[in-house]
Amino acid sequence: MKMHNFNSGPSILPDEVMEQAAAAIHDFNGIGLSILEIGHRTSWFGDVMTEARSLVKELMNIGNEHEVLFLHGGASTQFMQVPMNLLDSNETAAYVDNGIWGTKAVKEAKLFGNAIVVSSTKDRNHSYIAKDFSIPADAKYLHFTTNNTVEGTEWHHIPETNVPLVADMSSDIFSRPFDYSKFALIYAGAQKNMGAAGVNIVVVRKDILGIKRAIPAIMDYRNHIEAGSLLNTPPVFAVYVALLTMRWIKKEGGLVEMGKRAKERADLFYNTLNALPAFRPLVVEEDRSFMNATFTTAKPEMEDVFLGLCKQNGMVGVKGHRSVGGLRVSMYNALPLSSVQAITDLMKDFSEKHA
Amino acid sequence: MKMHNFNSGPSILPDEVMEQAAAAIHDFNGIGLSILEIGHRTSWFGDVMTEARSLVKELMNIGNEHEVLFLHGGASTQFMQVPMNLLDSNETAAYVDNGIWGTKAVKEAKLFGNAIVVSSTKDRNHSYIAKDFSIPADAKYLHFTTNNTVEGTEWHHIPETNVPLVADMSSDIFSRPFDYSKFALIYAGAQKNMGAAGVNIVVVRKDILGIKRAIPAIMDYRNHIEAGSLLNTPPVFAVYVALLTMRWIKKEGGLVEMGKRAKERADLFYNTLNALPAFRPLVVEEDRSFMNATFTTAKPEMEDVFLGLCKQNGMVGVKGHRSVGGLRVSMYNALPLSSVQAITDLMKDFSEKHA
């Protein structure tokens, strides 16, 4: 059976990335050794790291005022590492809380300085994005989550502010053209649009670094910059899968093409959702995520029936996050439009039978 | 050409582990999805994590007073995470400094409490292990590195002390039977004997946890224990490769068999080294590592000649660590005796021609 992978992350990757990753486990670039058994200080892996860092800059269209790092861990690590590196104990940072990940980020930041929530959408279960809020003029940075994987909301425009922007882009990085140079720091766990779990990408503008706090060596961005992301043994295979994925993005037409495909998938999905009485969207129309669509069945008791149908039809990952329930369809870069077509067809059938 | 992989880490893995890892990228357990694209909260991956944690306990022969965690990062992360979790700011911890990694570990611990070096072998370039030293009675723990990858020394017996033992076993974990229950905490980056880079194993006796310091959520062992190593998205593929490697170890005869093979490799290598005038060992006989043999050519100018011969014969990873120079042959669990035979044959030829 052809599977349709709507997992929220780890999630679908392009077929050719899988093939190349598997081939490199057998023999990396014809050297007679596996990617899993080469030293990280060999020129073989050095070339992987150099190309990966360079491709991030190329795809994002950013220059040398930014540095690209590949670090262990995921966004949860960055919730701690960002304020550790940027926020001194007597300084203030502004946080936007649009959902479960933003809430976690601000909680960690409070361990390091004066982290304040300047905008929260908790009043309506994070079903929208509040775009009007004020930021203290002395804020060291404004932290927000560009796409809320769990709740299904997304910032479709960058917030306008003079305060340095710090963004968790874990679930929509490389999904659209964006003025990435506007950000002081971007981080993303790789396991949605960029590869396999186990590596973080961090893009940081060098001039915001230089805190006085004593930082553990492995957490200090400056050490990683100086070492070219080879301060310690990096997650070699995960970096390689990220490289393969970025090569694929570039070859397919870069972020312009990714943005076009994301819109096609989202239009098909949400137009169908809007038209069907058996389903209810969870998010207000203008803030709906192009990556993660959250919704419910109109009758709560029908949710399991629909999930059963998904399973029968090889559609995985449709159950909502355990913290919010309901249903969720994730539509990352590698998801073909045909998978969205398949689930919207199923939704139509279901609606006709059960509405 | 048949390659002989003497890399110090990332390093050689069993052929069948590579085959199984590559197959799982194409299709994991016949489910129609790749290991790289399944959610970490699926029962598919839940079973992987459960078996991996259970196999660690089985191989180490430890009971329920210990917990097993798979965490992001490598030993460098644990240099920080161990004192963050165990050492309050008014407490003392004793550190053994037998080389580059021990030195780094104590440096990080000083950020958290009173970390003191109770034994250092720096006076003789860490070419031996000093076994007699005293530990303050109030020390929270004694930290040591069981095998010094860079310098080529290894503790062949566990230090005798009443102070809780904390060990960095990154480069000799699962290489021999050991009374693992004696340790309060063991950690190891996976990329030597246990799998691919990008995951740490931490084995911790629960009764030593309970510090009052506020710890970032992602760094707190207690959170990971409570969540069964699924607090955040784990490095899914690296955990799976570790599971495959542990299955292989068990199938081959467990740690008794691994210890037997390690001794056979080390005996062959060191007996050859002792007999050849063209080479010089770097470490005193009784403390030589079974995992990493460090040595030099008798005439310094011959080192590059020997490295050139290694390269011609498909032998990779023989150059010593950049911080100490010289030569190094790493002989981890997956290295066949035939590879040691090949390089000792080459050394004999070389010695006859150039001694």
Least confident of A265-269, A318-322, B89-93, B266-270: A318-322
Interface probe with B: pick from A31, A40, A48, A72, most Cβ of B within 10 Å: A72
Q: Cα separation of B62 and B277, whole Å?
A: 45
Alpha-carbon distance B307 to nearest alpha carbon in chain A (angstroms): 15
Asked if A112 and A89 touch (Cβ cutoff 8 Å), the reply is yes
Sort out which chain A residues have CB atoms less than 8 A from B218's CB and list them.
73, 76-77, 79-80, 108
Of A97, A101, A172, A220, which is the active-site residue?
A101
Compute the distance between CA of residue B221 and CA of residue B68 in angstroms, rounded to an integer: 10
Q: What percent of chain B has pLDDT over 90?
A: 97
For the record, the structure tokens of A280 come out as 């209810």
Residues 30-49 in B contacting A (C-alpha not used; CB under 8 Å) = 32-34, 36-41
Structure tokens at A262: 């994301």
Tell if the CB–CB gap between B233 and A10 is shorter than 8 Å.
yes
Residue among B176, B196, B250 at smallest CA distance from B7: B196
Distance separating alpha carbons of residues B16 and B334, to the nearest angstrom: 10
Nearest chain A Cα to B78, which residue? A218
Instruction: Mark yes or no for CB contact A197/B9 under 8 Å.
Output: no
CB proximity A237 to B under 8 Å = yes
Order the strands of the A279-281 sheet from edge to edge: A279-281, A292-297, A327-330
B157 vs B160, B178, B180, B286, B287, CA distance in Å?
9, 9, 12, 11, 10
Residue tagged 């509040």 (tokens): A130
Closest among A134, A148, A105, A191 to A290, alpha carbons compared: A148
Q: Which of the four pLDDT bands, split at 50, 70 and 90, describes residue B238?
A: very high
Distance CA(B248)–CA(B283), nearest Å, equals 31
Of A1, A41, A80, the CB nearest to B218: A80
B192 is catalytic: yes
C-beta separation of B168 from B143 below 8 A: yes
- Residues of chain A scoring pLDDT < 70: 355
Length of chain A: 355
B57 is catalytic: no
What is d(CA B52, CA B239) in angstroms, rounded to the nearest whole number?
A: 7
pLDDT at B355 over 80: no
pLDDT at residue number B1:
76
Cα gap B221→B207, rounded to integer Å: 12
Tokens 């990329």 correspond to B191
Check whether B46 has a pLDDT greater than 80.
Answer: yes
> Can you tell me the ipTM of this complex?
0.97
DSSP codes of every residue in A258-321: HHHHHHHHHHHHHHHHHH-TTEEESS-GGGB-SSEEEEEESSGGGHHHHHHHHHHTTEES-BPP
B236: closest chain A residue by CA: A197
Beta carbons within 10 angstroms of residue B223's beta carbon: 14
Mean pLDDT of B128-140: 97
Using DSSP bridges, classify how beta strands A66-72 and A165-168 pair: parallel, antiparallel or unpaired: unpaired
Regarding beta strands A315-316 and B153-154, do their DSSP bridges make them parallel or antiparallel, or are they unpaired?
unpaired
Question: Which of A196, A304, A19 has the alpha carbon at shortest distance from B72?
Answer: A196
DSSP state of B349: H
Structure tokens at B182: 């004696």
**Residue A340, pLDDT score:** 98
Structure tokens at A176: 């659209």
Which residues of chain B have a CB within 8 Å of the CB of A76?
A: 217-218, 231-232
DSSP string, B225-288: HHTTT-SS---HHHHHHHHHHHHHHHHHTHHHHHHHHHHHHHHHHHHHHHH-TTEEESS-GGGB
Strand A153-154 versus strand B183-189 pairing type: unpaired
B168 is annotated as an active-site residue: yes
What's the mean pLDDT in B33-55? 96
* Listed residue (A5, A1, A3, A2) closest to A191, CA to CA: A5
CB proximity under 8 Å: B 85-104 to A: 104
CATH 3.40.640.10: does it fit domain A15-252? yes
**pLDDT at position A2, please?**
83
Show me where the domains of chain A are located: 15-252, 254-354
How far apart (Å, rounded) are the C-alpha atoms in residues A335 and B100? Answer: 46
- Number of A–B residue contacts, CB under 8 Å: 190
Rounded to a whole number of angstroms, the CA Rg of chain A reads 21
The type of residue at A186 is I
pLDDT at A324: 87
From the list A97, A192, A220, A287, the catalytic residue is: A192
As a whole number of angstroms, the distance between CA B341 and CA A67 comes to 46
What average pLDDT does the segment B244-265 reach? 98
The overall average pLDDT reported for chain B is: 97
Q: Which CATH number fits the domain A254-354, given the four candidates 3.90.1150.10, 3.30.565.10, 3.60.10.10, 3.40.50.300?
A: 3.90.1150.10
Question: Cβ–Cβ of B197/A234 closer than 8 Å?
Answer: yes
Q: Out of B10, B214, B316, whose CB is closest to A236? A: B10
Question: Which residue among B97, B140, B155, B168 is the active-site one?
Answer: B168
Residues of A within 8 A of B237 (CB-CB) are: 196-198, 237-238
| A80 interaction partners in chain B (CB closer than 8 Å) | 216-219
